Amino acid sequence: MTDTTTRVALVTGGSGGIGRAVVERLAGDGIAVGVHYAGNKARADETVAAVTASGGRAITVGGDVADEHAMAEAFDAVEREFGGIDVVVNTAGIMLLSPIATLDLDDLDRMHRTNIRGTFVVCQQAAQRLRPGGAIVNFSTSVTRLRFPTYGAYTASKAAVEGMTLILARELRGKDITVNAVAPGPTATPLFLEGKDEAAVDQLAKVAPLERLGTPDDIAEAVAFLAGPARWINGQVLFANGGVA
């Protein structure tokens, strides 16, 4: 049974890390969620099972975010199940680190395909489909301000996301749809912690005035704010980083 009175979200990369925290936070607010995955359906199924076990509503949808046909099918599936879409959250992304001088250009292309083209494709679908009162939440990074070495190519891809976010907000004039981006700082996810020893993690945790790393739940809280009550915040980048920049 579909329920057109229920708000509905599609979360790309919704099966792990920040994406899963976003799914569970939105579901906790009573939003039905399409949990998107690119390659790990089992993990997406686990996320859906956790949501439904808590009384929420969720389905899995798959596909390469950079493939416009696959994402059109993902949007179609969510609309068929829940009656429409109100919120799209673009957490899907990859991060490959290297000094600019030695970066494998294939890695550059991979990041740009997922982070730039993928975000663009999903935003394009969202701009055509979201109901009035809807919200698009993209993902950037606080490294656009922190400027850590080895993050050059990744940060370039996220700076592009910020640019398209701000322009899309203006292009959707009159549709009552907000478009914003969240820019997390150092956050304790498996992706962030991989390859870092305890000393490096401790040092990063002390950078913020709050003297800890962010958590996926911290970032999900910012997303839920932009996806729900924050109707007068539009065309902005929200730096969710505990004050590191």
- Write out the catalytic residue numbers: 154
- Among the listed residues 197, 234, 189, 190, the one whose alpha carbon sits nearest the alpha carbon of residue 216: 189
Q: How far is the C-alpha of 48 from the C-alpha of 134, rounded, in Å?
A: 22
- β-strands 87-90, 58-62 pairing: unpaired
Name residues whose C-beta falls within 8 Å of residue 98's C-beta, 6 or more positions apart in sequence: 104, 107, 150, 153
Q: Which ranges in 92-149 belong to alpha helices (H)?
A: 105-111, 119-129, 143-146
Angle (CA) 11-14-18 rounded to 5° is 105
